[in-house]
Amino acid sequence: MTWRALVRVVDFQEILTAQAILSDAIAGAIGAHGPRSDEVRALREGYNVIAKVLWTRRAGIPEVHDLAWLDHAVVAPSRQRGRTWGDADRATWASLAASLRGGVLADLLPRRDTASWCDVHVDTFGGEGFVKLERGVAGPYQVGIVVPSRFAALASELATLRAEPRSVAVGILEDLKALAAAARASSGGGVALVFAASAAGTAVE
C-alpha cells in the first residue's frame, strides 16, 4: 500500500496526555520485538511528537497526521471513532476533494494551496489554553481538520451531498456522516474531526 487515509474523531486533550500509554507500549514492543525494531522506533517517534507539540503548543501538518494515526493505532484503538482507506479508494477521495467549492468539507479535504491554522481547546499547559493545528498538504501528507464550532455545519453540508447509487463515493459519504455525528456527540472542546492521509515515497496530489 502506497497511500492510506484515516478520518477520525481525535480528542487532542487525550492524545497530548498519553505519554504513559506510549511508555507502556514502548516497553511492550521492546519485549516483543527488540529495542531496535521498527515498532519501537515508530512508538518513540510518536512519543517525541507529543513532547514537541506540548512544548511548542502547535502541530504542523506532519505532526497532526502522526497524532491522528497514533490515537487510532495506540492510544484509543478500541474506540469506534475512525475509519481507514487504502490505495483502491484514493481516486474517489481525490475526485470528492476536487468537486468541493468551499464549505466545511474543504476544511476536511484541503487542497495543496490552501494551508491554514485552527485552534483546538486543551487543558494540558498548566491551565486552559489552545493548541494550534495546521491543515493542508505538505510533501506526502494531507491533513484536514473540522473544529467543534463547525460540526453542525458539516453535518448539514453532508446531508445535502449525493453520489451515484453504484458509486464508491456513496460508502465514503455514509462513513463521513457517521463520523460527523460521532464528533457532534463527543464531549470536550479538545475534540476535532481529522482527515490524515499520506503517500509513501511521493507527494500527495
Are the C-beta atoms of 168 and 93 separated by less than 8 Å? Answer: no
What are 70-84's pLDDT values in tens digits? Answer: 999 999 887 778 999
pLDDT band, residue 23 (cuts 50/70/90)? very high
Highest averaged pLDDT of the listed ranges 32-36, 96-100, 124-128? 32-36
Average pLDDT, whole number, for the chain? Answer: 88
Q: What is the pLDDT of residue 171?
A: 84
What's the whole-number mean pLDDT along residues 186-201?
Answer: 86
What's the whole-number mean pLDDT along residues 30-57?
Answer: 93
What's the whole-number mean pLDDT along residues 99-124?
Answer: 87
Question: In terms of pTM, does the model score above 0.75?
Answer: yes
> Does 13 have pLDDT greater than 80?
yes
| Percent of the chain's residues with pLDDT above 70 | 91
What's the whole-number mean pLDDT along residues 2-22?
Answer: 93
Q: What is the pLDDT of residue 140?
A: 93
pLDDT band, residue 37 (cuts 50/70/90)? very high
